[in-house]
């Protein structure tokens, strides 16, 4: 529907300043990856700000009204 590519899977390396408070040594690298299902969900439901999908700004009525699984993608 967007007529452009949308990143779904993503990956990266944690920055050292994020690892130090967890007690990890400075010379260690940590990678992360995920499906990033937030983006297609935001597109499907017309959400522009990710904080409206996860976190304290979530519209709970939308959660109650939306089916758990949609097959009409």
- Indicate whether 71 belongs to any domain: no
Task: Return the minimum-mean-pLDDT range out of 12-16, 17-21, 55-59.
Answer: 55-59
Angle (nearest 5°) at CA 40 between 36 and 68: 95
- Indicate whether 3 belongs to any domain: no
Are residues 7 and 39 in contact, defined by beta-carbon separation less than 8 angstroms?
A: yes
Whether pLDDT at 73 is above 60? no
Whether pLDDT at 72 is above 80? no
Per-residue model confidence (pLDDT) at position 47? 87
User: What's the rounded Cα separation, in Å, for the pair 38 and 64?
Assistant: 18
Q: What is the mean pLDDT of residues 13-40?
A: 87
Total domains present in the chain: 1
- Indicate whether 48 belongs to any domain: yes
Domain that holds residue 43: 10-65
């Amino acid at each position: 529907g967007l007529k452009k590519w949308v990143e779904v899977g993503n990956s990266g390396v944690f920055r050292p300043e994020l690892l130090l408070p967890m007690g990890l040594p400075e010379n260690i690298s940590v990678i992360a990856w995920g499906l990033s299902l937030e983006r297609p969900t935001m597109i499907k439901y017309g959400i522009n700000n990710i904080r409206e999908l996860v976190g304290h700004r979530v519209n709970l009525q939308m959660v109650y009204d939306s089916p758990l699984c949609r097959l009409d993608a």
